[in-house]
Structure 1
Amino acid sequence: MEAILYICHGSRVKQAADEAVAFIQKVMQKVDAPIQEIGFLELAEPSIAESFERCVNKGATTIIAVPILLLTAAHAKEDIPEEIAHLQSRFPKIELKFGKPIGVHKKMIEILLERIKETSIPIKQNASVLLVGRGSSDPDVKRDLTTIGKLLEQKSFVKQVQVCFLTAAEPSFEQALERLRQDEVEQIFVIPYLFFTGILMRKIEKTIQKIKREHGPDYILCDYLGYHPIIEDILYEQISELQNQK
């Protein structure tokens, strides 16, 4: 019997975990699998181990582990595989299949364009977009977000798209904002490349509020990605491929 194990990052902010569960429940409605469970890597419950064991106890013989992550970094490369490998050693008869983070996907650009459009603010001639990622010491994260930024620049009506990071990579959010201010960009759309709300989203909001008080209104904070129907479709396609994999 086949099971899908959706693996989320987790957050200290309850709203973030609630958003994750609500989104995955929508994906579950599309996926044809007799067993579907949600587990969190950290900071929320149930844990990956608890959800894995629930799959086994319900009769799973194959488990498809799907990381609900935007970009490929240490969580996808090390933390989650190590946790799953440990669990598989306890249940060696279970066949395991791994999904992958969304990564660089052209459909994600549609969400970013939507986030700009839904502000209902006319785009000025000298406008820029600042794409704000979580950040990681893994160079693949910086490379992938930069690629996404370039794809957005090609599709949007803004002069330039720059990327920055909230932790563990440069340029930092503050560095990027200062650089754009020095370049005398007259309008900046800030898009948090985050799945859910939480501590990092609050940091962005606080910083933008402070800058708007000091430098004027043309710093526009767009909504974070959220669990968008396009992301539902991307995950559904990935799970379907794994289900058909022999």
Structure 2
Amino acid sequence: MGPAGAARSGDAGGPALLVIAHGSRDPRHAATVHALTGRVRALRPGLRVETAFLDFDTPSVSQALASLYLSGVREVVALPLLLTRAFHAKADIPAALAEATARLPELTVRIADVLGPSPLLTAALERRLAEAGLTPADRATTGVVLASAGSTDPEAIAVIAEIAREWRHTGWCAVRPAFASAALPRTEDAVRALRAEGVRRVAVAPYVIAPGRLPDRIAAGATAAGADVVAPVLGPAPELATLLLERYSCALAAPRPTHLRPPVLSA
């Protein structure tokens, strides 16, 4: 039997938080994810926060849950480190959790919502643009390309487009969505389109959390098209750490799930 009392639910801070990232062959990805979860720990010292990856990096979801279980934890909030509800959120993560919990029948896992959309993400984007050199006085003459990784999921693409529309109302002269893969326009095409419309200054804001192949593609496209400003990825921004804890709290407030099962996908 594992440790009793507070440790069974992730120590004094409540159920443990398992942040599930996609993973990458690029070591900068895991380093950024760990920096973000470290910031979450600093914000909530009593909360046990662990990290898992769907691919490329370790521990896997199954390994992380098994480790938590062996240490006495019996309640976990699994939080997808994803900005939209696309295939990974709808299928991969629920399937990985269902497979792992089938071998750990005493473990209760709640799945938190993905991170986006959220005003905190917009605030993090603003932070990165400011760090790249833009000032409030630049807003009225600057067009922004909101560059995401891309998805084949229409819901995810629609969410990115809606974020761009809403962000436009905060004073930028234009905000356009763009995608590094799977959807159009590409970053470089969005930059050139704004130039063709007479926008004086064009900034690219990567709507991605960690460095990797697709963020590098965003930056390369922005540079090739002559963007004036290319902001860094969101990374371990304080707004993201706060948002992770918001999603954790919302998951705890939701009705407790009775079980997890792999999603059934249509052919």
- Asked if TM exceeds 0.5, the reply is yes
CA distance in 1, matches of 2:218, 2:47: 40
Counting aligned pairs with the same residue, the percent is 26
115-124 or 130-139, larger mean C-alpha shift: 115-124
Equivalent position amino acid for 2:174 in 1: Q
Maintained 8 Å contact 2:150/2:180: yes
| Unpaired segments ≥5 residues, structure 1 | 213-217
Residue 10, structure 1, aligned to residue 54, structure 2: no
CA distance in 2, matches of 1:238, 1:221: 29
In structure 1, the partner of 2:229 is 220
Helix, strand or coil at the partner of 1:185: coil
In structure 2, the partner of 1:40 is 53
In structure 1, the partner of 2:13 is none
TM-score normalized by the length of structure 2: 0.82
CA 1:124/1:56 → structure 2, altered by over 3 Å: closer, same or farther?
A: closer
Cα-to-partner distance string for 1:177-222 (whole Å, 9 max, x where unaligned): 332233232211111111011112222232333333xxxxx53111
Equivalent position amino acid for 1:103 in 2: G
Residue in structure 2 matching 1:233, options 232, 242, 252: 242
CA distance in 1, matches of 2:46, 2:35: 18
CA 1:116/1:54 → structure 2, altered by over 3 Å: closer, same or farther?
A: same
CA distance in 1, matches of 2:52, 2:66: 10
- State how 1:203-214 maps to structure 2 within 5 Å: 203-212=217-226
141-150 or 114-123, larger mean C-alpha shift: 114-123
CA distance in 1, matches of 2:86, 2:219: 25
Helix, strand or coil at the partner of 2:176: strand
TM-score normalized by the length of structure 1: 0.89
For this pair of structures, how many residues does the alignment match? 240
CA 1:64/1:33 → structure 2, altered by over 3 Å: closer, same or farther?
A: farther
CA 1:225/1:36 → structure 2, altered by over 3 Å: closer, same or farther?
A: closer
Equivalent position amino acid for 2:212 in 1: G
Residue 182, structure 1, aligned to residue 191, structure 2: no
CA distance in 2, matches of 1:94, 1:86: 12
- State how 1:80-95 maps to structure 2 within 5 Å: 80-95=93-108
53-62 or 108-117, larger mean C-alpha shift: 108-117
Deviation at 1:38?
1.2
The alignment's C-alpha RMSD in Å is 2.0
